[in-house]
Amino acid sequence: MGAEKTDATADHTSKGEFSDVSGHDGESLQGPSRYTLQRKLKNRHIAMISIGGVIGTGLFVGTANSLSYGGPIGLLLGYIVMGTIVYCVMISLGEMVAYLPIPGGHIKLAERFVDPAFSFAMGWNYWYDWAIGSPAEIAAAALLINYWNYTVNDSVWVVICLAVVVAINMLGAGAYGEAEFIFASIKVITITGLIILGIIIDLGGGPNRDRIGFRYWKNPGPFVQYNGIQGAKGRFLGWWAVLIQAAFSFIGTEIVAIAAGEAKNPRHTLPKAIRRVYIRILLFYIGGTLVIGLLVPSNNPLLVLNSGTAQSPFVIAIETAGIKFLPSIINACLLTSAWSNSSSSLYTASRAIHGLAASGNAPKIFLRTTRNGLPYVAVLFTAIFSFLAFMAVSKGAGSVFNWLSDMTSVAGLMTWFGISVTYLRFYKGMQVQGIDRKTLPYYTNLQPYAAWWGVVSTITICFFSGWSVFLEGNWNTATFVTNYVLFITWPILYFGARLYYGTKPIAAADMDFKRDIAEIVADSYEEPPPKNKMEAFWQWLVSMAALLGNF
């Protein structure tokens, strides 16, 4: 499996549990097909996954709660701050995975550059994040379907959505890539069209000819006094309440790292994908929240997701403008985004647990794949947790979406924390070993400051994520548990693993920057010229996005 393992790496395999994948029954991850993930994700798959792969219910639906919590300015500022965090995490991750696009992504990188126990905690947290993310998206899908028919039991919609998601993932990475390409294309077209339509409606171009302008920024106002708390304190708390939901909207940006192990020509495609992250942050998230704040007043009762009659802010705005038929079309597009995100969640979680098994941190049965490289055991096991979406039947789709999205947000923030810590160790190792970062496939001049911002901001937001339950008369056990269970579990997993396996942090001088490089270089090649006009147009579009991303 490329270069032999260094003595430094061997020192951290004290009980054989954290040994490299080559120790599994004497067979390596690059060996028999039952252990092998195959590179089936094409350039266009990675490109679309990076631009629109996880745009979904967080932006289309979850912003309803955020607008009611923080008001239009609080919503916008919350997404801007979270956008800076995401960008810093992604350029940190991008530098590592472009250099080492290995199966397991940042989970395996943490094992190599931080500590096997850190990889253990990070891996199980990441698996949990996405395993819970899938039922959260399915609950959101049921909530969206209720727009048309509220009389049918939510269990019907849950079964249908779950069947579609599992079917896509059981067809393999190639089928997932094609489905995600189509779904992501629909989402990109939808959010772009909604932003343009929103501007038109705001300027009075709707059927009712009502020129809204910044009306709702004046009345009911730019901020919401959270929980009736007056003054700057109430406005600050309203803005802070936006952050945890904004995190849910951005969760999944790092999916390109997990996809790296199945990406064709990874050293060419991944740097381009990372450079496109800012497009999604600026155009889709910042632009989308700006338009939402202009079109819908923060006191609209339909914004409360657990009310049973909640709607997407975009649908509310289009209905208010008097545009017939279009709300149903938009709601259908939003429904495909929920399907897409649930599919992405199942895909990512299954690859995460496969990576855990490859590191010896999960049972070896999760390494089993079909001849086509599908980790079917990992997919089916993870799909079991999607049945949590059936809680929507008794508790209501809106409430279940809120609970699961809170848990996903905290787990996702802890993942970003782990990525940032891993990069700081990666950066230190490069320095100590005298490796010039400018020779890497991708690097930026913002490091290590960007990674430090990722570390400090994510841990701070997690620590205060459930602050609202401590307000007088506002205690909610479900909210407290969903916000803090993973925050508490992380250090237990990490220190427990360190004590049990007897590992210690890897010294910068002992970090292995050479293993797997030969295979990665062998998988790299120059992109062939376009065969037709459609391919030529796509390559031009991709190159323009990459070019803009360099600025």
pLDDT of residue 4: 36
Q: What is the CB-side half-sphere exposure of residue 259 using CA atoms within 13 A?
A: 37
Query: Are 92 and 419 within 8 A, CB to CB?
Result: yes
pLDDT of residue 19: 35
Burial of 365 (0-12, 13-18, 19+ CB in 10 A): exposed
- pTM of the entire predicted model: 0.78
Q: Is 105 left (phi over 0), alpha (psi -120 to 50) or beta?
A: left
pLDDT of residue 458: 93
What count of other Cβ atoms lies within 10 Å of the Cβ of residue 472?
A: 6
Whole-angstrom Cα distance, residue 302 to residue 395?
18
- CA-to-CA dists, residue 228 to 54, 224, 232, angstroms: 34, 8, 12
Whole-angstrom Cα distance, residue 69 to residue 287?
19
Structure tokens at 84: 């800076």
Positions of the chain with pLDDT under 70? 1-54, 56, 104, 147, 149-150, 173-174, 255-270, 272-273, 275-280, 305-310, 392-402, 522-531, 533-551
Burial of 218 (0-12, 13-18, 19+ CB in 10 A): exposed
Query: Are 215 and 203 within 8 A, CB to CB?
Result: no
Query: Are 422 and 110 within 8 A, CB to CB?
Result: yes
pLDDT of residue 394: 58
pLDDT of residue 418: 92
pLDDT of residue 457: 94
The pLDDT tens digits of the residues spanning 454-466 come to 999 999 998 888 8
Q: Is 37 left (phi over 0), alpha (psi -120 to 50) or beta?
A: beta
